[in-house]
Amino acid sequence: MSDHNNQAVARYRNDFLKEVEEHVEEGEWVKMCMQCGVCAGSCPLGAHWEHTPQKLFMMIRAGKREEVLRSDAMWMCTSCYNCVVRCPRHLPITHIMHGLASYAHRLGLAPKNQPTREFAKIFWDNLVNKGRVNELKLTLALYFKDGLVQGIKNALAMQSIGLGMVKAKRLNPMEIFGGHGLRDLKGFQAIVAKAREIEDKKKGYTN
Amino acid sequence: MTASIATSQTILVVGGGIGGMTAALEAAECGKQVILVERNPTLGGRTALLYRYFPKMCHPTCGLEINLKRLKGNRKLRVMTQAEVTAVSGSAGDYTVTLKLRPRYVNKNCTACGDCGKSVAGEMANPYDYGLSKIKLAYLPHAMAYPQRYVLDPAIIGTPNAEKAKAACKVGAIDLDMKEETVEIKVGSVVWATGWKPYDAAKIQPYGYGRFANVVTSVEFERLADPRGPTGGKLLRPSDGQPAKNIAFIQCAGSRDENHLRHCSRICCMASLKQTHYVREAYADDAAGPGKSTIYYIDIRAIDRFEDFYKKVQEDPTVQFVKSKVASIKQNASANLILHGVDTEGYHRYAQEHDLVVLAIGMEPEANGIKLPADMLVDSSGFIEGSKDGGQFAAGSAASPTDVNRSVQSATAAALRAIQVVHRTAAVEEAT
């Protein structure tokens, strides 16, 4: 658990809705939900979630902070936007889901070993490293995230696809030695750092 | 001042439904000259197409009969059917209104005997049954039609059918030479009582209206329940004509939805609660057991004094309430419908089978489909607020979604405002 989390708890006490409104992307929309349930009913993955958007919004309003931020539901969103299209009040539900996921991650409350979150982390680190996505390293990092044995199993299972991609020149094995990157990598990393600084300032984080 | 002297004292009421009839009668009974124009061949509007009213469960024929009696006895009131307003110019107290008069092809001699209807071949979808039945091309709109005169559909003019109808008429009521006319009238004030129309249910794509035969709208369900309707009052499924005994009512079908109608239509909750009575009564003596109603809702808005009505329906064991806006409907091999969604009381995912689905369809202002004068103010849903110059008003469900009761109240208020406009100009005349 991070300092952000302690700050947030101290500041908002039981008013989790207010916290969400201030810190979660599009969070100010949560209070507009009228609990009709169309988002939950139209979500293609709905049956596999612990908490549907409708339920999450009600939990936010009920102050169930821990349960919401530790939920893995928002990490399951595939951004199909069906809920946004169907919502009778035009809530940007998909954006709120991603906003909640990002906020939970920032506070250090997001569920550990959640595959979507793991992938997002690997993808981000991979991207920021060179300013370009190194697909070979990304794939390997994903395969081996659960250890060497599982990694080898995964790699073997996907062997034919991998070889096919190499043959079709869609995957360069030489990328393993560093790979391609941006010409002005330092500039790029400065941009990312600045963006983070602006966002932190906007959301009131001190570090 | 000269313009004021030419001011007309006449009040024009546009639309002959329950609201328009009321506004016209109230003004006429105050001694004002009133012209009531109706686009269709009969007065009565959508009210005449209801089976019964809430909350007293009485029949619209009763209220209409009283109004028609008042209307027939009033010499200040002139009714024009098949008349449409095409333009309004001028200002408060002095309007010139252009009317397009469509021919009925039947004159005053008509005794409504029905011989012309029997003589003609060919039928069309009956608009007075929302298309659930067929009607002859020479027809009386419905039993409560006023004027009680047949109408020839323009489609048969110039065909042998028209001659057949003319030949069949013993009283010489059919006049095939009637032509469309345009007339201008002078009026002091206009009351727009243009009413409402059911929202186009096919636009609510996941509910399958138009694709699934057994998904109907609440206004169609009124016709099914009416003994004079297409099924003789039996609740029969459109797909196979079998009795529907497990009926779902879906609330907010189009209403309270930024993708469709952004307003609450206010009547639909009460309409569905009322319609559960039809279901219970239809199978009251059925040896196989009672009919079942299930209401899917976001929240029940039994407005005003209707909470008691809601409470009584809640106590009815044949009626079940599910707090959920249905997400989608699928059809199975027996043309039954599977309703999918998640309820709000426990967040349970359901897939419920029903043999008929009634969409409690929202009210869209009819004015959305007609051309209003340029200075008319309408709200974000298209309901009329009145003209900027203060001489034109809206009544009933042209002004906001209303049931019959509130429509009548609103119409009385609009009549009073219109009277004030023509009085105001009269005072100016006296002063000069």
In DSSP notation, B318-373 reads TEEEEES---EEEE-TTS-EEEEEE-SSS--EEEEEESEEEEEEPEEEGGGGSPPP
Q: Residue B185 is inside which H or E element, if any?
A: strand B181-187
Residues B327 and B402 in one domain: no
Residues 232 to 251 of B: which have CB under 8 A from any A CB?
Answer: none
Is the CB of A46 less than 8 angstroms away from the CB of B340? no
Residues from chain A contacting residue B344 (CB–CB below 8 Å): 35-37, 54
User: Would you say residue B317 lies in a domain?
Assistant: yes
Question: B230 and B345: one domain?
Answer: yes
Which range (A79-88, B343-352, B365-374) has the least confidence? B365-374
Residue B150 has pLDDT above 60, yes or no: yes
Cβ-Cβ contacts under 8 Å, B207 against chain A: none
Determine the length of chain A.
Answer: 207
> pLDDT tens digits, residue range A126-184?
999 999 999 899 999 999 988 899 999 999 999 999 999 999 998 888 888 888 889 99
Residues B252 and B152 reside in one and the same domain: no
- B152 with B191, same domain: the answer is no
Chain B residues touching A47 at Cβ < 8 A: 349
Residues B156 and B294 in one domain: no
pLDDT in tens, A28-84: 999 999 999 999 999 998 888 889 999 999 999 999 999 999 999 999 999 999 999
User: Does the structure show a pLDDT above 90 at B245?
Assistant: yes
If you average pLDDT over residues B207-221, what whole number do you get?
A: 98
Mean pLDDT, residues B318-328 taken together: 97
Partner residues linked to B293 by β-bridges:
B247, B319
Residue numbers in A near B252 (CB within 8 A): 36, 88
Q: Tell me, what's the pLDDT at A207?
A: 54
Q: Is the same domain home to B15 and B82? A: yes
Mean pLDDT of B233-245: 96
Residues B22 and B148 in one domain: no
- Note the pLDDT tens digit of each residue in B38-48: 999 999 999 99
Domains of chain A: 3-110 (1.10.1060.10), 115-198 (no CATH)
Q: What's A111's DSSP letter?
A: P
Q: Is residue B345 part of a domain?
A: yes
Q: Looking at the structure, tell me whether residues B38 and B148 fall in a common domain.
A: no
pLDDT band at B226 (very low <50, low <70, confident <90, very high): very high
**Percent of chain B residues topping a pLDDT of 70:** 97
Task: Determine whether the interchain pair B341/A47 forms a contact, defined as Cβ–Cβ distance below 8 Å.
Answer: no
Residues of A with CB below 8 A from B257's CB? Answer: 88
Is A59 in a helix, a strand, or coil? helix
Average pLDDT taken over every residue of chain B: 94
| Phi, psi dihedral angles at B196 (to 5 degrees) | -135, 170
Comparing CB atoms, the residue among B206, B258, B343 nearest residue A37 is B343
Q: Of B326, B361, B396, at which residue does a domain stop?
A: B361
Q: Do A54 and B340 touch (CB under 8 A)?
A: no
pLDDT, tens digit (0-9, with 9 covering 90-100), for A173-188: 888 888 888 999 999 9
CA atoms within 13 A on the CB side of B111: 7
pLDDT at B417 over 90: yes
What is the mean pLDDT of the segment spanning A117-122? 92
Q: What is the mean pLDDT of residues B245-273?
A: 97
The whole-chain average pLDDT of chain A stands at 91
CB–CB of B340 and A40 under 8 A?
Answer: no
Could you give the C-alpha distances from A178 to A40, A130, A141, A151, in angstroms and in order? Answer: 44, 9, 14, 20
Query: Could you tell me if residue B108 is inside a domain?
Result: no
Average pLDDT score over residue span B41-66: 94
Q: With beta carbons less than 8 A apart as the criterion, state whether B199 and B362 touch.
A: yes
Q: How far apart are CA B340 and CA B329, in angstroms?
A: 6
pLDDT given for residue A161 in this prediction: 92
Contact status, residue B222 vs residue B130, Cβ threshold 8 Å: no
Q: Pick from A38, A55, A85: which is nearest to B325 by CB?
A: A38
- With vertex at residue B201, the alpha carbon angle to CA B195 and CA B204, rounded to the nearest 5 degrees, is 130
Residue that has been written with the tokens 């952000």 in this structure = A4
Same domain? B312 vs B395: no
Q: What is the pLDDT averaged over residues B326-336?
A: 97
Enumerate the residues of chain B whose CB falls inside 8 A of the CB of residue A54: 342, 344, 347
Q: Cβ B327–A40 below 8 Å, yes or no?
A: yes
- In-domain check, residue B152: yes
- In chain B, whose CA is at the least distance from the CA of A42? B327
Residue B109 lies in a domain: no
Whether the per-residue pLDDT at A203 is higher than 80: the answer is no
Q: Label residue B3 by pLDDT band (50, 70, 90).
A: very low
**Is there a contact between A42 and B347 if contact means CB atoms under 8 Å apart?**
no
Query: Taking CB atoms and an 8 Å limit, are A40 and B325 in contact across chains?
Result: no
Instruction: Tell me which chain A residues have a C-beta less than 8 angstroms from the C-beta of B258.
Output: 87-90
Predicted pLDDT of residue A48: 86
Global pTM reads 0.90
d(C-alpha A190, C-alpha A184), whole Å: 10
**Please, which pLDDT band fits residue B429 given cuts at 50, 70 and 90?**
low
Is the distance from CB of B210 to CB of B203 less than 8 angstroms?
Answer: no
Residue B300 domain-assigned (yes or no): yes
Q: Kindly indicate the confidence band of residue B370, based on its pLDDT and cuts at 50, 70 and 90.
A: confident
The answer to whether the Cβ–Cβ distance between A47 and B349 falls below 8 Å is yes
Select from B327, B361, B395 the last residue of a domain.
B361
Instruction: Return all residues near B251 (Cβ < 8 A) that are at least 6 apart.
Output: B268, B269, B272, B295, B296, B297, B298, B300, B325, B360
Residues of B in contact with A92 (CB under 8 A): none
B81-103 mean pLDDT: 95
Q: Select from B120, B254, B111 the least CA-distant residue to B171.
A: B111
> Would B110 be classed as within a structural domain?
no
User: Does some domain include residue B318?
Assistant: yes
Strands B123-125, B134-136: parallel, antiparallel or unpaired by DSSP? antiparallel
Mean pLDDT of B253-277: 97
CA distance B235 to B222: 10
Q: What's the pLDDT band for A6 if we cut at 50, 70, 90? A: confident
Mutate to test the interface with A, among B296, B329, B344 (most CBs of A within 10 A): B344
What pLDDT, on a 0 to 100 scale, did the predictor assign at position A123? 95
Q: How far apart are CA B250 and CA B354, in angstroms?
A: 12
Domain match, B205 and B350 both:
yes
Query: Mean pLDDT across the stretch B321-333?
Result: 97
Number of domains chain B contains: 3
Same domain? B244 vs B137? no
Residue % of chain B over a pLDDT of 90: 91
pLDDT at B2 over 50: no
* Stretch B318-326: mean pLDDT: 98
CATH number for the domain that contains residue B241: 3.50.50.60
Examine the fold and report which residue of B329, B361, B393 is the final residue of a domain before the chain moves on: B361
Q: Check CB contact under 8 Å for A35 and B347.
A: no
Taking the CA of residue A39 and the nearest CA in chain B, the distance in Å comes to: 8
Buried/exposed B319-337: b ≥16 CB within 10 Å, e otherwise: bebbbbbbbbbebeeebbb
Is the Cβ pair A40, B298 closer than 8 Å?
no
Question: How is residue A145 annotated by DSSP?
Answer: G
Mean per-residue pLDDT, B338-350? 95
- Contact call for A46 and B349, based on CB within 8 A: yes
Which of A167-171, B81-85, B206-210, B412-416 shows the lowest mean pLDDT across its residues? A167-171
pLDDT in tens, B97-128: 999 999 999 999 999 999 999 999 989 999 99
- Name residues whose C-beta falls within 8 Å of residue A191's C-beta, 6 or more positions apart in sequence: none
Binary contact (B259, A86; C-beta < 8 A): yes
Q: Is B284 on the interface with A (CB under 8 A)?
A: no
pLDDT for B4 equals 45
* H/E run at residue B277: helix B268-282
Based on the fold, state whether residues B312 and B207 are members of the same structural domain: yes
Range of the domain at B55: 2-102+180-196+364-431
